[in-house]
Amino acid sequence: MKIAALQALLPFAGWSEDRAQGIEFVGGLDPKLPTSFKITETASAALAAVGLAVADLWELRTGKRQSLSIDTGHATASLRSTKYLRLDGAKVSTERNTVMGIYPTRDGRWSYLHCNFPHHRAAAMKVLGVPEERSAVTEAVAQWDALALEEAIIAAGGAGGMSRSAAEWAEHPQGRAVASLPLMEIVKIGDSPPEALPEGERPLSSIRVLDLTRVLAGPTCARTLAEQGADVMKVSAPHLPFIPYQEYDTGHGKLSTHLDLRNAEDLETLLGLARDCDVFSQGYRPESLANRGLSPAKLAQLRPGIVCVSMCAFGHTGPWASRRGFDTAVQVVSGIAARQGELFPDQGEGPQFYPVSAIDYLTGYLMAFGTMVALRKRAIEGGSWLVRLSLAQIGRWLQQQGELAASDIADAAPEFGQADLEQWTMSSDTPIGRLTHLAPVIQFSETPARWARPSVPLGHSGPVWPAR
């Protein structure tokens, strides 16, 4: 089976088209779920790129090649892996906040309010001047024009956006800025001698990853690296809001520590961890960590040979470069939600979200792919490297694959069969109980993907690297 979306990824690793011939894809392509967007193809492509990068590192480490296979249904399910969480046999709730959603506005358009985090919710309620009740929010949003509300909520420190068509987004200044960027960048940012992979029996054994990311995309990157043996240290802080089920989902394989970067002592502790790490992954707005001396350039001086991974919402250039955003916000402003609503009017009036978190998870997989390409470059060429991408760039890649015809998705089932789900899931004993969750998707002939550590609560671990 040939995956067309994979062709755009091969050049980032310097691979020719025939590099993909050794991958076995099982299960067919779209549609697997009710959406016109090619979520199965893109998920399979992103995971195939990850698998090929793992195989390259294994060959670099041992001289041995290995084959890989991907179940395309499992790949698709991984784009909403929180849906399949069970804790001690009970389903883990993934319900969103009740006022989060897309509302009609005075000018006949639609406005999205991102309200999952308390501070974003508070910002929206302050702008609207109403209590946190859906009926009151609906009435208040109806008094606004969509563009004015978008700007007011962003100015207040909230998140969301006006629903646009794909054509409108293509003409928007930020849409044009995103279109000017490549899908992702892997660039050398400093000189240092070639650095061999540490000793170990797995593709990423003893590679140390500092994970300063939140929500889904960045944490998925670090979880994917942990699947291959990396030592991942998740860094959060007690004052930062979080959503427990997302942490259960992306925490497999990681240590987790609390450091408050507003505190000089904790910041120094983080810098100490960075001096001894291989990968520094961050998902804040571009300037947020730079203001604390944690820019890629500063990190490359602190730790020559570091691989910095930087992900943001809308790209590092353009008028929205510093705007906060999420998968759902990118769907709304870029035309994905509007198109999903057009195709499924029986599901409700107005724009809709597709049935997965494709942009989030695809971004995470491609962050991991870029990280491993950079680690290989470091081993062969030397140097410090920056892997840079955004949710909006990955959303554009998804849209560029084209859409299925409405007739092709008319009978798409909303869920996978129970037999398939049982085949794709596993259980782990964690400090919070017995967690059932999706297993790693990619199957390798020589180095089976696995997590050496279970998900743990945030702050569970001390800020100390395991011995190599």
Domain boundaries, the chain: 101-178+324-347
Distance of CA 17 to the CA centre of its chain: 26
Show Cβ contacts of residue 49 under 8 Å, excluding neighbours closer than 6 positions: 6, 9, 10, 12, 13, 365, 366, 369
Query: Where do we find the tokens 């890989």?
Result: 68
Q: Nearest to residue 102, comparing CAs of 328, 326, 320, 327?
A: 328
pLDDT, one tens digit for every residue, the chain (468 residues)? 778 999 999 999 999 988 988 899 999 999 999 999 999 999 999 999 999 999 999 999 999 999 999 999 999 999 999 999 999 999 998 888 889 999 999 999 999 999 888 889 999 999 999 999 999 999 999 999 999 999 999 999 999 999 999 999 999 999 999 999 999 999 999 999 999 999 899 999 999 999 999 889 999 999 999 999 999 999 999 988 888 888 999 999 999 999 999 999 999 999 999 999 999 999 877 667 777 788 999 999 999 999 999 999 999 999 999 898 899 999 999 999 999 999 998 888 999 999 999 999 999 999 999 999 999 999 999 999 999 999 999 999 999 999 999 999 988 999 999 999 999 999 999 999 999 999 999 999 999 999 999 999 999 999 999 988
Q: Which one of 3.30.1540, 2.50.20, 1.10.600, 1.20.120 gives the CATH number of domain 101-178+324-347?
A: 3.30.1540
Instruction: Determine if the peptide bond prior to 31 is cis (ω within 30°).
Output: yes
- Beta carbons of 467 and 93 less than 8 angstroms apart: no
Q: Name residue 335's amino acid.
A: G
SS3 312: strand
| Tokens at 67, concatenated | 């084959």
- Beta carbons of 23 and 69 less than 8 angstroms apart: yes
Q: Name residue 229's amino acid.
A: G
Three-state SS for 322-334 is CCCCCHHHHHHHH
Query: Which phi and psi angles does 72 have, rounded to 5°?
Result: -70, -25
Q: Nearest to residue 215, comparing CAs of 183, 251, 190?
A: 251
Residue 9 to residue 267: CA distance in whole angstroms: 36
Instruction: Determine if the peptide bond prior to 173 is cis (ω within 30°).
Output: no
Q: Are strands 208-212 and 279-282 parallel, antiparallel or unpaired?
A: parallel
- Beta carbons of 311 and 390 less than 8 angstroms apart: yes
Query: Where do we find the tokens 């520590």?
Result: 257
Please spell the DSSP secondary structure of 156-176, one letter per residue.
Answer: TT--EEE---HHHHHHSHHHH
167-178 burial code (b ≥16 CB/10 A, e <16): eebbebebbebb
Give me the pLDDT at residue 2, please: 79
Instruction: Tell me the sheet residues that pair with 366.
Output: none
